[in-house]
Chain A
Amino acid sequence: MDFILIQFLTGLSNASALFLIASGLTVIFGVTRIVNFAHGSFYMLGAYLTWTITRALWDWGGREPLLFVLAILFAALAVGALGALIEIVLLRRIYRAPELFQLLATFGVVLIIQDIALAVWGPEDLPLPRPPWLRRFVEIAGSRFPQYDLILILVGPAVLAALWFLFQRTRFGILVRAATQDREMVAALGVDQRILFTGVFFLGSALAGLGGAIVLPSQSAFLQMDLAIIAEAFVVVVVGGLGSVPGAFLASLLIAEVQAFGIVLVPKATLVLVFLVMAGVLIVRPYGLLGRPQAHARAATGTVEPVIRPAPAILGWAGAVALALAAAAPFFAGPYAVTVLVELAVFVLFAASLHLMMGPGGIVSFGHAAYFGLGAYGAALGLRFLAVPMEAGLVLAPLLAGLFGLVFGWFAVRLSGVYLAMLTLAFAQIVWAAAFQWVEFTGGDNGILGVWPSDWARGKAAYLWLAIVLCIGATLLLRRMIHAPFGYALRAARDSELRAEAIGLDAVRIRLGAFVIAALGAGLAGGVYAYGKGSVFPTYISIPKSIDALLMVLLGGVQTVSGPIVGALAYHTLFLTVLQAFAWWRLVLGLAIVLLVLAFPQGIAGFVRQRYERARGIEGA
């Protein structure tokens, strides 16, 4: 009983930091509809800045608690100002871009901040020295409990109360709530949205910085903090209900307590537990604990999806020439270039499969790497346990991915918008955790080795041709589907579910179909990738891989059919070039992404189409 009390209190203190981060994220999302990946970076900066400021203040005035509190507040304000700056300089310019496009920009910011933090604070972990008053404990039920953690328990509710006051009693807060419910109406009533958005970014970022600051005394400031927290923060936001601050509070309590007790009951399953909770909550309550059905985010931008027309002949010719050049590469290019072409073929299919869901389907997936990885593991596990040759492995790969796509999709397609996206992320994380921690079956993080092609395909040229036939063939098939009746039905279900159903289309089933087809495509890509690399690892399923797919689709242009192809080629080439040419490659890649985002808010292919249509006098969307 005593132990339960201690564990419960520990959970409460963890919940506070989690709530600060999640409340910032949820406020930003609620108003601006931006899925802000940089939120974890703000949390990290909060910790680093607190470290620097606290030490400076302590050197000046002694290690006093008051100076520490002051440092925390300075750090939070500084991070808030940085968030506001990023909103003004970067995000403000791309609000009119397609849904989720801003995610691309925030990811660029994540990369930039990672390298800046390394340059400024160096590679080593930076713990804040704890003066005696930070090491105190109180005796509770016969156990020692850190006094600082006890104070943390109070911080969460205090911030909740402050936010409640802000949102209920101030004009700014009322406008924020109004904008969360109906942004267009607020704009129509003459509220300056720009000030509102900047203000919200300041508030949200400051909360993240505060979260990073208050955890500093119990750990250290380190360079992987940003990505360690971001997935969990999203989970809390979604479980609580997007845009709901009290929901985020409840969810952070739930998640923190589940973790505190989970490590006692199932010590090995801590990674999955959180995502299982999220999946469970979303299946029972599709809008989170306290969320409301999301106003359709697409409608909010005031535009409709552009009509998809058949590609102009010149595009077809350009594609054919590029393909012929790629296929002829073994005759004139070195072996490394051939390896890169195989990867490009794989990623084209990977991106195209996600695009079928995201573009025509309107189903955003944050966990598409799950099907890519399942394909790779399908091939590898087939080899490991059944000793199947490559030919069978390449059949097994899409089948395994498709099977899981059917199961996961069955739950997912009932949801919509970001909730759906987060459910796919939850499923992907569950698959990832299984691959990572189920060592006996999957080899764990050490993966499965020796997944090499059959003899006839072992040569570099032969494998390239195989990859082109399978991946580009499948990609063309996916393109064909978009123009087929199935594609029309899918777009109908996306644009107006009610009308689609009125004419007899089963929207849920059509979306499920798209989900499964996308999983099959990604699975095939994963299989080809596995034999190309010779080994399979959980990193194929990890969140960065899912983000890669999103980046490719968004960079290319989600509203065009050729977007994913262009995006995959552009992004992967950019990544390879920058990774090899610069020691500070994250900074360069991040800046490149930011510039591309600003230059092509419709994506690269979207930009080209716009110009093409304008030149031809075709009525744009």
Chain B
Amino acid sequence: MMRTTRRAVLLGAAGTLAAPALIRAQGTQPIRIGEINSYTALPAFTLPYRNGWQLRVEQINAAGGVLGRPLEVIWRDDAGRPQDAVRLAGELLDNERVDLLAGTFFSHVGLAVADFALQRRRMFVASEPLTDQLVWEKGNRYTFRLRPSTYMQAAMLVEEAAKLPARRWVTVAPNYEYGQSAVKWFKQLLSAKRPDVQFVAEQWPALGRIDAGATVAALERERPEAIYNVTFGPDLTNFVRQGNTRGLFEGRSVVSLLTGEPEYLDPLADETPQGWIVTGYPWDQVETAEHVAFRRAYQAKYNDYPRLGTVVGYDTITAIAECIKRAGSTETEKMVEAMRGLPFASPFGPCTFRALDHQSTLGAFVGRTALKGGKGTMVDWRYADGAKYLPPDDEVRKMRPQSG
């Protein structure tokens, strides 16, 4: 049961009748953040995410809140549907009188809410969607994005892939915008660094419906030297199992997006392939002071280890709190100005929301997969600062509408 939303039961006419008349006194009233995410459609990622932001809200409020006011998050489940997310965004703004919007996981949901935020001129902090369009082609003044984008993560992998001797590449990616962009950038960036590489085949399984045996056989047939993988979740497990049994990965380099994130690495368990170059999050090995403090607090509260989603949820609230502090107000235009170029501290290290395109410089860990004690983990990893994996500024300006 959502603690904060009982009042929503009164929904519809009855609930809204009274709403406009209700004028909130500033001061001790909480700062209200409207959060929308795909809690039922993608619980494996979004539930640890919710734990993350709940932890951060608790911490901030215990320390006296922001501008002397506590933070309050009113959250909604969009069921993975953009049309519902847009309606809920309206409900949060109009009925719940939230000061800003945040959240979303799927790219299309993020884009829908971003466009809605532009229309209503209210701030939206997109936490998880990966699509590049969110800050570039379809970027707008009111939308900010936290997680490193498809481009950034692909660029991090290309850096490592270019060092490999392999020249004959194949790709496998889920057939939708995310998979297509991930392959497009990887090919483009790798070919620029290594004109000698060749991409000899592509596989495009449908999301959540991979025919793994056939896909593995089709890739094997091309006798590639290296494989670039973008599948994740159940598709990845399926692909890895067939690949292991059929020997697809033996003697070949594999470069794989997101696979090092605990959400996707843990289900591979004792079948985790060794030596894949991945982006991810080695939660048990990052020993910087800020991360250790974060991990301890999380483990104390939930008796569970943090996932990548946890960090994203945690940082979303940190960034919003810092932004409001800097703006000194919850007025949208002031918050937007404050968010542009805003520095904030993540468990991963210091980050900034770029004024140029509203992308945060939160990075990811790049390393290799390994098997320890029957579980997958990352070794030889390093933190790749997001700021270093973005295209030159003038290219970004060309891609982004320059109105705001």
Contact = CB atoms under 8 A, between A and B. Distances in A.
A334 B44 contact: no
A2 to B, nearest CB: 9
A219 B76 CA distance: 31
A511 to B, nearest CB: 31
Nearest to A580: B8
B49 to A, nearest CB: 11
Interface stretch (B210-218, B287-295, B353-361): B210-218
A533 B9 contact: no
A259 B217 CA distance: 13
B267 A537 contact: no
A261 B79 CA distance: 34
A586 B40 contact: yes
Contacts, number: 236
Given A124-B266, A533-B112, A537-B108, A270 B204 contact: yes
A104 interface: no
Interface string B228-261: 0000011001100110111100000000000000
A534 B133 CA distance: 17
B180 A339 contact: no
A581 B9 contact: yes
Contacts of A533: 82-83, 86-87, 112
Contacts of B215: 263
B217 A10 contact: yes
Contacts of A340: 12, 87
Given A146-B245, A259-B214, A449-B138, A535 B111 contact: yes
B13 to A, nearest CB: 6
B322 interface: no
Interface stretch (B14-22, B154-162, B335-343): B14-22
B271 interface: yes
B385 interface: no
Nearest to B22: A334
Interface string B82-110: 11101110110011000000000001100
Contact of B87 (A14, A137, A224, A339): A339
Interface stretch (A30-38, A167-175, A438-446, A592-600): A438-446
Interface in B202-224: 202-206, 208-209, 211-215, 217-218, 220-221
A493 interface: no
A447 B108 contact: yes
A118 B211 CA distance: 25
Interface string A253-284: 00000011101100110110000000000000
Nearest to A135: B245
A278 B271 CA distance: 37
A7 interface: yes
**Interface residue tally of chain B, by bracket?**
35 or more
With a 10 A CB-CB cut-off, give which of B77, B81, B245 has the most chain A CB atoms. Answer: B245
A437 B174 CA distance: 10
A583 B242 contact: no
B214 A444 contact: no
Contacts of B175: 268, 270-271, 437
B25 interface: no
A441 to B, nearest CB: 13
A41 to B, nearest CB: 15
B58 interface: no
Contacts of B186: none
B217 A535 contact: no
A7 B233 CA distance: 24
Contacts of B209: 228, 232, 270-271
A137 B246 contact: yes
With a 10 A CB-CB cut-off, give which of B84, B217, B220, B266 has the most chain A CB atoms. Answer: B217
Contacts of B268: 127
Contacts of A585: 40, 77
A537 B83 CA distance: 8
Interface of B: 1-2, 5-6, 8-9, 11-13, 16-17, 19-20, 39-40, 43-44, 47, 76-77, 79, 81-84, 86-88, 90-91, 94-95, 107-108, 111-112, 114-116, 119, 131, 133, 138, 175-177, 180, 202-206, 208-209, 211-215, 217-218, 220-221, 233-234, 237-238, 241-242, 244-247, 263, 266-271
Q: Give me the 4 closest cross-chain CB pairs, A-B, nearest first.
A: A123-B43, A334-B16, A10-B213, A337-B16
